Amino acid sequence: MMTIENRTTIEAKDVSVIEVRCKCGSSVTTPLGRLNSEPSECPTCGASWSQFHEDLKKLTDLASLLRSLGSEQAQALPFSLRFVIASGGQQ
């Protein structure tokens, strides 16, 4: 019996928005191209995130990396990068 495996993949340029979700349920969404500084608090409940600055800094670093990987220069490389999205319990 033939098995058909569906895989969902994305490329760096497919990431358009990064969302930071607060435990209160609200979220801060920022377009990747404009994520240059970390959010310091939840805009809804006002919880301070400043003590997690180092963790949130990774977010801006990630945004920077994704912008670089999705840039036109990266498109000219002789290879491409794709991220596989886990789904339905498959790895």
- Taking the least distance from each CB to Zn ion, the nearer of 22 and 74 is 22
Burial class (CB in 10 A: 0-12, 13-18, 19+), 51: exposed
Work out how close the CB of 25 gets to Zn ion at its nearest, in angstroms, rounded to a whole number. 7
- Taking the least distance from each CB to Zn ion, the nearer of 15 and 28 is 28
Of 1, 64, 78, residue with least CA distance to 32: 64
Query: Is 42 near Zn ion (CB under 5 A)?
Result: yes
Contacts with Zn ion by CB under 5 A lie at 22, 24, 42, 44-45, 47
